[in-house]
Structure 1
Amino acid sequence: MTDTVVVIYSGGMDSFTLLHKARADGLNVHALSFNYGQRHVRELDCAQEVCQQLGIPHKVIDIRAMSDVMAGSALTSETIDVPEGDYQEGAMKSTVVPNRNMILLALATGYAVTVEASAVWFGAHGGDHAIYPDCRPEFVEKMDAVCKVANYQTVAVEAPFMHFTKGDILALGLQLNLDYSHTWTCYNGRSKACGRCGSCVERLQAFAEHQQQDPVAYEVQY
């Protein structure tokens, strides 16, 4: 075991908090981001800026060549509208990217072996369970088991926020004095966050829960 971890860092609120948690825990962090053709690709700009400021090794892997086998999601197709509303609504299933986390975790595990990291961390949390099968405990447990035997070097797959709500994640970030203006959560990639998609709604609810003002600019806020 080593004190090095690979954090899958999208540039969003959850992975931003996770990145800082790893640092606060005294771990040696390597950040790994992916361009899979997401319409909210501006999150990668946030990720790059944060890692530069913190002096964290950061790689962005372009896997857009795989778009044909990860198609049919509102997050990657301009012909499918990003649904609005709460994550509990069935329409949010259109934001599922086929097999995304299995693909990203497999690549991150390879990188973990390369940098001799003992684990891969990613930001799945309790609010994701209703919509995303690849963010549920049973998925993480099985990926962890597979990645521990896939190489000569054991690599664990861990989701430290698995049983956190978005509000819990924000509470941790507030304890760490994090500045969330350096994140992008909206599923749309416009100049302002839309305030209507499930990702925005959940984020705004978390800030309201803690009587805090989200520093990100929104088109609308409910």
Structure 2
Amino acid sequence: MSNKVVVIFSGGMDSFTVLNRALKDGKEVYALTFDYGQKHVKEIACASKVCQQLGVSHKVIDISAINQLLAGSSLTDDIEIPEGHYQADNMKSTVVPNRNMILLSLAVGYAVSVEAEQVYYGAHSGDHDIYPDCRPEFVMKMNEVCQIANYQAVEIFSPYLTNNKSEILTDGLKMGLDYQDTWTCYNGRKKACGKCGACQERLEAFADNNVTDPIAYE
């Protein structure tokens, strides 16, 4: 049985925790980061820095050409990033059509090529309201498909699927993780805005854990 896993690593705090969880689980990690034309491209630089520090195999794949097909998201189009909490309807503008199905498909293909048994994926309960492709039923169905899509079965593994961001951070802090080199804000400016849904949920997670977020905010 292979000990290799592919980790979809955006550079955000959730996938950073997932990456370290895989390492803690004793896995041989192949990190995979996608440039899909997101405004918050700063997260890719964070991902590269972290993987270099950890000595983890890391590929950054440019798939930005898909934005010719996937229109209507404020993360990739000339649409203003909304402010407010994830549970607000205006956050639906941050949905990139079919993004996670595309990313998971590519990650599974990579897993087959390196003979990895799992793809670690950072979906969590805080995303369930807004993002259909982070919900348990989606992950379950994708996992079923990925068992039969190739000669080699690959499991889609979401270690924090039923946890919220605060609980993910709790686990990360127990592992002694430093979140200085992570990026969550949907705006790609020098400092995090503190107002978008991603920032608000991140700040709430740190407050819930009685810890100060180490990154700078506007």
1:12-49 superposed Cα distances (whole Å, 9 cap, x missing partner): 00000000000001011000000000000110000001
Helix, strand or coil for the counterpart of 1:201? Answer: helix
Matches within 5 A, 1:1-222: 1-77=1-77, 79-219=78-218
User: Displacement of 1:3 after TM fit?
Assistant: 1.1
TM-score (norm 1): 0.97
How far residue 71 of structure 1 moved from its aligned partner, in angstroms, is: 1.6
TM-score (norm 2): 0.99
Q: Which moved more, 1:98-107 or 1:65-74?
A: 65-74
| Percent identity of equivalent pairs | 63
Give distance in 2, aligned partners of 1:70 and 1:20: 31
3-state SS of 1:31 partner: strand
Counterparts of 1:178 and 1:71 in 2: how far apart (Å)?
A: 36
What is the DSSP-based 3-state SS (H/G/I as helix, E as strand, rest coil) of the residue aligned with 2:34?
strand
The residue type equivalent to 2:37 in the other structure is G
**SS of 1:205's equivalent?**
helix
Residues 123-142 of structure 1: CA deviation (Å, up to 9, x unaligned): 00000000000000000000
Amino acid corresponding to residue 88 of structure 2 in structure 1:
E
CA distance in 2, matches of 1:150, 1:210: 41
The more displaced of 60-69 and 200-209 is: 60-69
- State how far apart, in whole Å, the 2-side matches of 1:69 and 1:17 are: 31
Unaligned stretches of 5+ residues in structure 2: none
RMSD: 0.6
Indicate the larger mover: 66-75 or 139-148.
66-75
CA distance in 2, matches of 1:51, 1:29: 10
Size of the aligned set, in residue pairs, is 218
Deviations 1:54-103 (A, max 9, x none): 110000110011111222100001x2111111111000000000000000
Structure 1 residue runs without a partner (length 5+) = none
| Structure 1 residue ranges, 4+ long, deviating more than 6 angstroms after superposition | none
Amino acid at match of 1:64: S
Give SS of 1:206's match: helix
